[in-house]
Homo-oligomer: A and B are copies of this chain.
Amino acid sequence: MQTIAAVRTSPFPSSGVDSRLPGDDLGTLDRLGTVVTLRREQPLFREGDRADFYFKVISGALRTCKLLADGRRHVGEFFLPGDFIGLTATSDYIFAAEAVSETVVVRYSRRSVDALALQEPRLGRRLFAIACESLSVAQHQMVLLGRKTAEERIASFVLDMAERGGDGDGITLPMTRTDIGDHLGLTMETVSRAFAQLKREGVIELKSTHNIVIRDRDALADLADAG
Interface residues of A (CB under 8 A from B): 66, 68-70, 72-74, 76, 87-90, 94-95, 118, 121, 124-125, 127-129, 131-136, 138-139, 141-143, 145-148, 182-185, 225-227
Contacts and interface: CB of A to CB of B under 8 A. Distances in A.
A107 B181 CA distance: 41
B142 A76 contact: yes
Stoichiometry, copies per complex: 2
- DSSP class of A's interface residues: helix, strand, loop or mixed? helix
A90 to B, nearest CB: 7
Contact of A89 (B95, B118, B132): B132
Contact of A145 (B124, B129, B145): B145
Given A68-B225, A143-B66, A132 B87 contact: yes
Given A121-B118, A128-B124, A72 B147 contact: yes
25 contacts: A66-B139, A66-B143, A68-B225, A68-B226, A69-B225, A70-B226, A72-B147, A74-B143, A74-B146, A74-B147, A76-B139, A76-B142, A87-B132, A87-B135, A88-B136, A89-B135, A94-B136, A128-B131, A131-B131, A131-B135, A142-B142, A145-B146, A145-B185, A146-B182, A146-B185
